[in-house]
Amino acid sequence: MNSTMEAAQNEQNSEVNPPDADPQPQTLSKNAQKKLLKQQKYEAKKAEKKAQIKEQKQKDAERKRKEWEEKLAALPEDERLKLIDSRKELRKERMEKRSEERGLKTQRLTQAKETGQNIVVDLEFSHLMTHSEIHSLVQQIMYCYAVNGRCSLPAHLWLTGCQGEMETQLQRLPGFDKWIIEKEKQSYIESFSERKDDLVYLTADSETVLHELDPTKVYIVGGLVDRNRWKGITMKKAEEQGIHTAKLPIGDYMKMSSSQVLTVNQVIEILLKFLETKDWKASFFQVIPQRKRTEDDSVVDGEEDKEEIKEFETKKRCFEVLSHD
């Protein structure tokens, strides 16, 4: 009789909390909801500014085209031909320089596969994200790869758990099949099965502060967008897997306006900056946007707009470089 009751109770519990069910997002507090609303307003404002910048660039390009045509029309035939030839020569030089830079980048990234710092982007959270969030993460990964390629000391980048929609969206990127980066369907636990003790999951929830980058370690960055819904999920995952954790020493150098959660591309760019400079403070201030810092680190009015424009231009240049590779 008791065994029958226990079985019934276990069945009921399994229905309420199915063992294989996805973790449920945490309910946001009022303070967290305010921060989320503020972030959403910021994103809307950012999108509007990006559209304005794009429109202005199109107008500038059209103006320059007309100026060029007017300049040619005002010249005699022989001078016009000389000017056209001169422009063709400049274009040829730029193409040759770009080809040379591609060759050097390939050499650096190939060498990084042998001697570079191992940095993993954990893509096993794609089932917790919406289509647009996955798209956002794909854009961040593309930016990470572009920035890494421009570094004098690039890292050895890994994408693990690359499956499903995440893999599909990545495959749509121009030239993704030629990227010099590790693309693994399996998890990092499987990819580094013989080096489990070298794995270090970077999470803001860790109590261990990362002061140096150990070339023998493999640093893991959680590929997750909108972490407000999934607080502590990377820390919990690392604890369940029995691997080391650490957090960036942000608090030693600056105060954050809210949480110390950064985007994937910001974390990786900070790591890349540190590999080159060995200076955490410089790395943080070069990468972390002004809006994420407290008033103690604030700048004069208008500087935030300049920062956003600079960030937009930097990412645009990175994407342009990738599209030509």
**Residue among 20, 22, 122, 226 flagged as catalytic:** 226
Best CA proximity match to 284, nearest among 316, 302, 259, 260: 260
Query: How far is CA 245 from each of CA 23, 80, 166, 188, rounded to the nearest angstrom?
Result: 21, 65, 25, 14
Contact yes or no for 287/270 (Cβ under 8 A) = yes
Any idea which residue has 């809210």 for tokens? 258
Contact yes or no for 250/256 (Cβ under 8 A) = yes
Q: How far apart are CA 69 and CA 184, in angstroms?
A: 51
What is the side-by-side order of every strand in the sheet holding 244-246?
182-183, 156-160, 118-122, 218-222, 199-202, 244-246
Position 236, amino acid = K
Q: How many helices (H) and strands (E) does the chain have?
A: 10, 6
Is residue 177 annotated as a catalytic residue, yes or no?
no
Query: How far is CA 72 from each of CA 83, 188, 268, 286, rounded to the nearest angstrom?
Result: 8, 59, 47, 43
Catalytic residues: 226
